[in-house]
Amino acid sequence: MRFLLNDTSNVHVLIVEPAASVRMLITDILRSLGYRNLHSAGSGKDAVKLLEVEEIHWVILPLMATESVNALQILGLILNEPSLNHTATTLLLEPNSEDYCLPLAFEMGLLSWAPKSYIKESLASEFQDLMKCFALNHGNVTLTAADYLRRFLSEKRMHLSRQSLEQNLLSCFPGSAKLLLNMAEAEVLAGNEARAIDLLSQAEIIDERLGPTCKQLRDKYLKNVSNINLSSRENTLGIKTVVVIDPDTDVLFAATEMLQQIGVNSVETFENGLLAFNWIKQCGTEPDLIIMEWRLPGLSGPLLIQRIRQEGFLQVPIIIASSLVKRDEKPLLMEMGVDEVLEKPFDRTTFFSVIIWAIQQNRVPTEQKSLERKFRRLIHAGQNAEAERILAQLFADPRVNEGSKKGLQAEYLFSQADFNSACDLAVQALKLGGDSLSLLNIVGKCLLKLNQFEKALQCFEKANSLCSINIERLLTIAEINIKLDRTEAAERACDAALHLDAANGPALQAKCGIDIESGDLEKAKLGIGMLDSVPRIASYINNRAIALARAGRYEESITLYKRAILCLEPKWPELGTTVAYNLGLAYARYGDYDSALHILKDLAYEPKLGIQRKALALFKKLERTVKSGIRLFQEEPEDHMGNVDEVSETSVKVESDPVKLCLDSLMVKIAAKRGDIGCYLIFNSLDEIADRSKDLIKSTPRFTHRKAIATVKSETLKTGT
Partner 1 sequence: MKALVVEDQQLFREAVADELTFYGFNASTAEDGEEGLMAASVADYDVILSDMRMPKRDGRWFLGELRKTQKCAPPFIFMTGFTDLTPQDAFEMGADGFLGKPVDSDRLRAVVSKVCKPIETRWEQKPDSPAKQIFVRNFDSIESEFTKTRISLGRGGMFLAADETPLRTGDLVEFKIHFKEGPFRSLEGIGTIVWKRDSCLEPYLSGYGIDFEFLTEESLPEWLNHLRSKEIVPFVPKS
Expressed in angstroms, the distance from the first to the final Cα of the chain is 23
Site for partner 1 contains 254 (CB under 8 A): yes
Q: Least distance from C-beta 107 to partner 1, angstroms?
A: 24
Site for partner 1 contains 344 (CB under 8 A): yes
Contact set for partner 1, span 414-433 (CB under 8 A): none
Kindly tell me which residue out of 17, 107, 126, 293 binds partner 1, with binding defined by CB under 8 A: 293
Angstrom distances, CA of residue 466 to CA of 36, 332, 432: 42, 7, 18
Spatial CA neighbour of 145 closest among 227, 65, 210, 89: 89
Question: How many residues make contact with partner 1 (CB under 8 A)?
Answer: 28
Return the exposure string of 98-111: e unless at least 16 CB atoms fall within 10 Å of the residue's CB, then b. Answer: bbbbbbbbbbbbbb
Angstrom distances, CA of residue 252 to CA of 259, 291, 341, 679: 11, 10, 17, 39
Site for partner 1 contains 270 (CB under 8 A): no
Site for partner 1 contains 86 (CB under 8 A): no
Q: Least distance from C-beta 137 to partner 1, angstroms?
A: 8
Toward partner 1, which CB reaches closer, 187 or 246? 246
Toward partner 1, which CB reaches closer, 216 or 533? 216
DSSP string, 157-196: T-HHHHHHHHHHHHHHSTT-HHHHHHHHHHHHHTT-HHHH
Cis preceding linkage at 247, omega within 30:
no
> Helices (DSSP H) in 432-520: which residue ranges?
436-449, 453-466, 471-483, 487-500, 505-518
Toward partner 1, which CB reaches closer, 246 or 461? 246
Kindly tell me which residue out of 283, 324, 392, 671 binds partner 1, with binding defined by CB under 8 A: 324
Site for partner 1 contains 345 (CB under 8 A): yes
Phi, psi (degrees; rounded to nearest 5) at 267 = -115, 115
Site for partner 1 contains 492 (CB under 8 A): no
Helix/strand/coil for 220:
helix
Q: Least distance from C-beta 471 to partner 1, angstroms?
A: 27
Dihedral angle computed from the Cα positions of residues 46, 49, 53 and 57, in that order, rounded to the nearest 10 degrees: 60
- Could you tell me which stretch among 106-114, 220-228, 245-253, 609-617 binds partner 1 (CB under 8 A)? 245-253
Site for partner 1 contains 617 (CB under 8 A): no
Q: Least distance from C-beta 290 to partner 1, angstroms?
A: 16
Toward partner 1, which CB reaches closer, 271 or 461? 271
Site for partner 1 contains 209 (CB under 8 A): yes
Q: Pick left, alpha or beta for residue 216 (phi over 0 → left; psi -120 to 50 → alpha; otherwise beta).
A: alpha
Q: Least distance from C-beta 658 to partner 1, angstroms?
A: 44
Site for partner 1 contains 298 (CB under 8 A): no
Site for partner 1 contains 57 (CB under 8 A): no
- Could you tell me which stretch among 14-22, 240-248, 407-415, 605-613 binds partner 1 (CB under 8 A)? 240-248
Distance (Å, whole) CA 376 – CA 370: 10
Toward partner 1, which CB reaches closer, 297 or 519? 297
Q: Least distance from C-beta 424 to partner 1, angstroms?
A: 38
Sheet holding 58-62, edge to edge: 112-115, 88-93, 58-62, 12-16, 37-41, 717-718
Toward partner 1, which CB reaches closer, 135 or 671? 135
Burial of 205 (0-12, 13-18, 19+ CB in 10 A): buried
- Could you tell me which stretch among 104-112, 241-249, 305-313, 688-696 binds partner 1 (CB under 8 A)? 241-249
Q: Least distance from C-beta 178 to partner 1, angstroms?
A: 9
User: How many CB atoms sit inside 10 A of residue 455's CB?
Assistant: 21
Site for partner 1 contains 10 (CB under 8 A): no
Q: Least distance from C-beta 362 to partner 1, angstroms?
A: 23
Site for partner 1 contains 251 (CB under 8 A): yes
Distance (Å, whole) CA 133 – CA 114: 13
Q: Least distance from C-beta 349 to partner 1, angstroms?
A: 8
Q: Least distance from C-beta 136 to partner 1, angstroms?
A: 8
Toward partner 1, which CB reaches closer, 131 or 228? 131
Kindly tell me which residue out of 96, 119, 121, 138 binds partner 1, with binding defined by CB under 8 A: 138
Site for partner 1 contains 246 (CB under 8 A): yes
Phi, psi (degrees; rounded to nearest 5) at 235 = 55, 45
User: How many CB atoms sit inside 10 A of residue 515's CB?
Assistant: 22
88-93/112-115 β-pairing: parallel
Site for partner 1 contains 347 (CB under 8 A): yes
Site for partner 1 contains 671 (CB under 8 A): no
Dihedral of CA 400/403/404/408: which sign?
positive
Kindly tell me which residue out of 55, 234, 248, 646 binds partner 1, with binding defined by CB under 8 A: 248
Site for partner 1 contains 253 (CB under 8 A): yes
Instruction: Identify whether the C-beta of residue 541 lies closer than 8 Å to the C-beta of residue 560.
Output: yes
Kindly tell me which residue out of 233, 295, 713, 718 binds partner 1, with binding defined by CB under 8 A: 295
Site for partner 1 contains 398 (CB under 8 A): no
Kindly tell me which residue out of 247, 298, 331, 505 binds partner 1, with binding defined by CB under 8 A: 247
Helix/strand/coil for 455:
helix
Kindly tell me which residue out of 71, 78, 180, 321 binds partner 1, with binding defined by CB under 8 A: 321
Instruction: Identify whether the C-beta of residue 352 lies closer than 8 Å to the C-beta of residue 258.
Output: yes
Helix/strand/coil for 340:
strand
Kindly tell me which residue out of 19, 20, 135, 654 binds partner 1, with binding defined by CB under 8 A: 135
- Could you tell me which stretch among 89-97, 341-349, 569-577, 633-641 binds partner 1 (CB under 8 A)? 341-349
Spatial CA neighbour of 587 closest among 567, 573, 603, 605: 603
Distance (Å, whole) CA 538 – CA 573: 12
Site for partner 1 contains 522 (CB under 8 A): no
Site for partner 1 contains 323 (CB under 8 A): yes
Positions touching partner 1 (CB under 8 A) are: 2, 4, 135, 138-140, 209, 246-251, 253-255, 293, 295, 321-324, 343-347, 351
